[in-house]
Amino acid sequence: MKRILERSKPKQQILEAMVKAFFSEHDVEQAIIEIKESKLTRSQSQNSLYWEWVSVIGNELGYTKDETHMLLRDKFLGYNELTTKKGEAIRELRSTTKLKVGEFKDYLEQIDMFVAEWGIMLPRPEDLYYESMGYKR
């Protein structure tokens, strides 16, 4: 069970609700509460904007969403090198799901500049774009 707490927001009710929900769902005598710095992976707005862009790029280039997604990952994220138990090297495309918010912002910026060179103008729905790129309005 995870919740995002903000320094400036009330926290007591959130914590009390979490504790109550946990003990009502689990028949245990103890639980551990851990608070750590938030290092969230890509945001929902970034994900929504990304898939909108993938669709536009795919339509312009004649690729499916999955093909476009793989093309972009190949171009900007590269590969992880894995070694099997038999010592064989395997290359695996890096995933966007593990990117932190700042890394995903950089990824989006790279995509935007790259496709602009091909004359593809990507949509910028204000509600998604500004939040995705971390701009304050």
Phi, psi values for residue 78, rounded to 5°? 75, -155
pLDDT digit string (tens) for the chain, length 137 residues: 667 677 788 888 888 888 888 899 899 999 888 877 765 567 788 888 999 999 999 999 999 999 999 999 999 999 999 888 888 899 999 999 888 888 999 999 999 999 999 999 998 877 667 667 776 55
CATH assignment of the domain containing 129: 1.10.3790.10
Q: Identify whether residues 33 and 69 lie together within a single domain.
A: no
Boundaries of domain holding 96: 44-133
The per-residue DSSP string of 66-91 comes to HHHHHHHHHHHT-EEEEE-TTS-EEE
Q: Identify whether residues 109 and 55 lie together within a single domain.
A: yes
Look at the chain and report how many structural domains it folds into. 2
Q: Report d(CA 83, CA 78) in Å as an integer.
A: 17
Predicted TM-score (pTM) of the model is 0.64
